[in-house]
Structure 1
């Protein structure tokens, strides 16, 4: 009985040691409803650098998307409409899951096809998609002027839903 107990304790201690070694040492910064949106820095399609914190004081419609995504294709024209209508009050920031694209030319062709003029950020290493725990595309985060996430939508967002956010 003592041997079984000793073996059990040994297995527990080894398991705990392994878990503590592989677990992250820093607290995870998750993008949760009601919390401050985690800042990030990405390169844009036009070669500039964009930080989410650049838009503090404005509402931000943060959209994660890919060129192969059907619902993304459907909502992009509405996002452009919102950008043109509310551009001074609502920032549209589209983060492309570049790690899954064939190449940057595919993204450029998509932007040209839909005549998009809002900023397109490139998540080449998938860091921001991971930081925001994006599990499906499109995923959208509505962020208020104080940088707080007020709504999260997985799947396509209608023009009416975008406009409600813009008018809040």
Structure 2
């Protein structure tokens, strides 16, 4: 005679399966990495404002670069306008993703913020090749050139990519060394906007001055 399993035993077995599945799912969820946006914003370092002052302590030095029209220009020519300064070189997918993120931010903020997308020359990529990449990707970003890498060195970055968010007075509101995505760019722009709204205190560090 064939024995039948007790309904109580079957119900208990089902309960064990359900409970085990719940804890397994919870453990797997705990191992998931942070959301991309959170990870990217952590890559941007806000520069604290000096106590009692409206400016950050850090200011980028003035430097020369070549504009997209081939004319010589200097960073301090643009004092009075917030700036997103991005040094780059290369053409791999990571670089392209950064440039596309900058293009997107430029489309949103380009009327109020100056975007300086500076190609710092590398042996593997000439200025002509950088122009060709911009044309191929249909990027509208203003393309500038740091032909000998001196501007990148003056800014204190070990290598490209490096991004600086510079307020209207020429002081750094935030910076990022390494790859940067759209979420991080928007985060940096939000810090730049917040910093630009501050009023310098009586003991504020003197702002940089444009060279005549």
Q: Does the alignment reach a TM-score above 0.5?
A: yes
SS of 1:100's partner is coil
Matches within 5 A, 1:118-133: 118-133=141-156
Task: Give the RMSD, CA atoms, in angstroms.
Answer: 1.9
Q: Distance in 1 between matches of 2:168 and 2:189?
A: 11
Q: Which residue of 2 aligns with 1:141?
A: 164
Q: Which residue of 1 aligns with 2:181?
A: 158
Q: Distance in 1 between matches of 2:137 and 2:99?
A: 7
Q: Per-residue displacement from partner, 1:30-54 (whole Å, max 9, x unpaired)? A: xxx5312211121123212222112
1:108 CA drift (Å): 1.2
Matches within 5 A, 1:67-86: 67-68=90-91, 70-86=93-109
Q: Per-residue displacement from partner, 1:36-74 (whole Å, max 9, x unpaired)? A: 221112112321222211221221111110024543221
Larger radius of gyration: 2
Matches within 5 A, 1:14-163: 34-68=57-91, 70-163=93-186
Q: Which residue of 2 aligns with 1:7?
A: none
Q: Distance in 2 between matches of 1:56 and 1:125?
A: 24
Tell me if the contact between 1:101 and 1:107 (Cα under 8 Å) persists in the aligned partners.
no
Tell me if the contact between 2:82 and 2:113 (Cα under 8 Å) persists in the aligned partners.
yes
Number of corresponding residues: 136
Unaligned runs of 5+ in 2: 1-46, 48-56, 194-212
